[in-house]
Structures are given as structure tokens and as C-alpha cells.
Amino acid sequence: MKVLVLGAGVIGVTTAHYLVEDGHEVEVVDRQGAPARETSFANAGSVCPSYATPWAAPGMRRKALAWLLADEAPLRVRWRADAALARWGFAWLRNCSPGRFAVNKSRMQRLSHYSLACLQALRAETGIRYDETTRGVLQLLRTPAEIDAVSSHTRVLAAAGIAHRLVDAAGAIAIEPALAHAAAPFEGGLHLPNDESGDCRLFTERLAERAAARGAAFRFGTWIERIETAAGAVTGVATSTGHLSADRYVVALGVDAARLLAPLGLRLPIQPVRGFSVTLPLARPERAPLASVIDEHTKVAITRMGDRLRAAGAAELGVDTTDAPPDRFRAITRALRELFPQAGDFGRPEQWAGLRPMTPDGPPLLGPTPVDRLLLNVGHGGQGWSMACGSARVLADLVAGRPPGIDLDGLTLARYS
């Protein structure tokens, strides 16, 4: 079967990988000149299924209100007259109830844990390296209130059978020794020993090289202008380099999927949520984290990637450009400096902004649409790297007509109909 994969971010490339392994003829189309040049380029790097949680959570309405008034809040909203943004906002608020949160979280956890198993199998099979670490992720808790909040969360982790350990400050330093030199006080942390981290761009580039070597065609520098349909089925794709057609079409277009599918009558509830990262060359490796630390206080994730150190975070709703004013990197750099003061070369920062393709409830949209031959792999929000391999495996199973490895209840577009 010929399959056209639209988009060469981590989601499109992992999809192409599994499709090629299944023996399909695969063509990947992207406007950029290489894989992972948009949101998959410089994310925080955590592959953290234990942390897979919807942003629409109990208590978030109150927190969001306080953040709206704060200067350097982790979440900023720029409201504009836009019906899709307003619909998204209302849906997000509805999903903050304890009941909706529990359902959404269990859906994200189902996919994320499956995805980590798929990533580990892929790594063992291909030998792919991407500055990965496999020693867990530490959620750092700076205040007693943060310890209390996480203590109640550990009951959920225990019930789900997820390995975790709540530690005091000395325990946190035993896990990440460089924290002994932190300039900010902290109370402890939650260690998630089975989670991982790694450079999503490096992974995507190397997997694309492998898929190309095994027969996938990559058509870079090609803008997808229109998805064409007749009698309820896709007939082809109009691009800047000509008309393309296939037996199946997988949409992995990140934040742009909603705009391209709207003319087909498909309303995807995806909004861009902008975030930022700062990457530094390591200056003193012994003063840097060994793996990944998520600072609960600032919501900044700090990850070691080979001889680099990356800090990422912040969320801005209502903006759709990656051109970011320099002040947006201030809070992230400050968190990094407070926790790992001498670790990186702060004089040589690489600053990056990306747009998370976010659904209001949290889980992505996988699989079938009402349009024949058209499949979705979009809307992974702030967890796309963690969910990529599992989502792609599901898509390949659906194309092959095999039952997917997980139940897709709550992970498809049908939940919005």
C-alpha cells in the first residue's frame, strides 16, 4: 500500500518508520528542509509517561487566574477575537473538573506507557542513539505545599502501579548530586525511576535517515496547500511541488493540522501553546544533572543532553508565532541558574520557541476520521516526544488492519463528536 505521511516532525517520522517496517511504500512531505525543524526541534527532552497529565486539572482555574496577573507566570494567555480559541478555552475549563481530569489522565497514561515500551523496543532493534538517559526523572519540590500536593498524587501513581519514590532534600541530592550546589532551597522531590530523556531532534533525524535507507521517500521543502476529496474520500494532496496521491494519508502536521483539515469539514480542537527552551554547552559536567529534573515551582524542565544542558518551559496561549521577545527566556534561564549555577556556559545560550499542538482535554487525536483514507496523528501537546512511538505504532497497526496494542477509547476524534 502507498501511504503519504504529511509532516516530518517526531510524530510523522516515527509513523513513517513503522509503516516502512511493515513493508509499505511511504512518502513523507514537509515544508522544512530537514526533519524536526518545528516543534520537535528543541523541546525539554523528557520521555516521561509517569508525568503524563492533562494541563486541564482541578485547581488550574484558580492558578490560571493568579498567573494572568503575574509578570513572569508559567502560563500566559493573549485573548483575541477568535471563535476557535474561545471554544478551546471553554472546553479546557470544562475539563478541569476532578472527574474529567481522572478520565483524561488515564487516557494519556495508557498511551504514554505503551509509547515508552515501543521506544525501548525500537532502540533495542535499531541501536539508535540520541543523547538519551535512562535513569529516571526527578520532579523537584521547593516548598512544603508542593510536597503536600505531590503526596496526594503518589496515591494515584501507586494505584496505577507506577514506580515512584518521594524523597527529602538529601534524597534528591543522592539522585542528582549537582543539586548540592543549588542556589535555591528545596524540600525534596518525586523520583520516577522508569522515565527517560533524550534529544527529540537527534532521534527524529536519525530515525528519518534509517527510514530513508529502508525505502521511505522524503519530500522536503514542499508546502502542503490543500487536501483534496471527492465522494467523502481523499483523492490527493496539492503541494507546492505538484499533486501527490496514495492509498492512505496520515496527517502529522502538528499545530497546522486544524487549518488544513477545516475545509474538509473536520474541526480539530487544537490550539498552539507556545513554549521556550535555552540550550547551553556544558561548562562543568559534575555540576549538571545526570538526567532530567522538572522544577515543579517554575514548571521548567532541565535535561542533560550529551555535552549540552537544556532548560525548557512556559506556556502562552493565543499566539501562533515562534518569534519570541528576548524577555521570554528570562524566567527559564533564572530557574536553570538557581538549580545548577555553574553547570552551563550562560554566555552562549541557544534560544528557541516552539508551538505545542494542544487539545483542551490533553490526549492526542489518533486514527480514523469521517473522511475515507484519512488518518490522524496529531494534537500531542506538551507530550509529543513521550507519546510519539506509541502513537505511530497505533497508526501503523490501523493502516495494516491489525488491532492496535492499546484500546483507542478516548484517543480518537470520535470523543468530540
Ligand X SMILES: Cc1cc2nc3c(=O)[nH]c(=O)nc-3n(C[C@H](O)[C@H](O)[C@H](O)COP(=O)(O)OP(=O)(O)OC[C@H]3O[C@@H](n4cnc5c(N)ncnc54)[C@H](O)[C@@H]3O)c2cc1C
The stretches of 160-318 forming alpha helices (DSSP H) are: 169-175, 200-213, 257-261
Identify the residue among 253, 305, 309, 365 touching ligand X (CB under 6 A).
253
237 in contact with ligand X (CB under 6 A): no
15 in contact with ligand X (CB under 6 A): no
12 in contact with ligand X (CB under 6 A): yes
Q: Which stretch binds ligand X (CB under 6 A): 38-46, 68-76, 120-128, 140-148?
A: 38-46
201 in contact with ligand X (CB under 6 A): no
DSSP 330-392: HHHHHHHHHHSTTTB-TTSPEEEEEEEEE-SSS--EEEE-SSBTEEEEE--GGGHHHHHHHHH
Cβ of 185: how many Cβ atoms within 10 Å?
A: 9
Distance CA 282, CA 307 (A): 5
Nearer to ligand X, 11 or 192 (CB): 11
Nearer to ligand X, 43 or 279 (CB): 43
311 in contact with ligand X (CB under 6 A): no
Nearer to ligand X, 13 or 173 (CB): 13
45 in contact with ligand X (CB under 6 A): yes
> What crossing angle do the helices spanning 200-213 and 10-21 adopt, rounded to 10°?
30
Q: Considering CB under 6 A, how many residues would be counted as binding ligand X?
A: 40
Cβ pair 338, 330 in contact under 8 A: no
Q: Which stretch binds ligand X (CB under 6 A): 26-34, 133-141, 338-346, 394-402?
A: 26-34
Nearer to ligand X, 9 or 349 (CB): 9
Q: Which residues contact 326 (CB under 8 A, 6 or more apart)?
A: 351
Cβ pair 195, 49 in contact under 8 A: yes
Q: Which stretch binds ligand X (CB under 6 A): 42-50, 92-100, 117-125, 171-179?
A: 42-50
Distance CA 269, CA 358 (A): 8
Strand partners, 46: 197
254 in contact with ligand X (CB under 6 A): yes
Q: How far is the CB of 274 from ligand X (least distance, A)?
A: 7
Cβ of 33: how many Cβ atoms within 10 Å?
A: 8
Nearer to ligand X, 322 or 342 (CB): 322
Identify the residue among 310, 356, 373, 393 touching ligand X (CB under 6 A).
356
* Of residues 371-410, those binding ligand X (CB under 6 A): 380-386
Q: How far is the CB of 388 from ligand X (least distance, A)?
A: 7
Q: Which residues contact 128 (CB under 8 A, 6 or more apart)?
A: 122, 203, 206, 207, 210
328 in contact with ligand X (CB under 6 A): no
Identify the residue among 122, 172, 301, 392 touching ligand X (CB under 6 A).
301
Among 4, 107, 11, 105, which residue's Cα sits nearest to residue 377? 11
Interface positions with ligand X (CB under 6 A): 7-12, 30-32, 36-40, 43-46, 223-224, 252-254, 256, 260, 275-277, 301, 312, 354, 356-357, 380-386
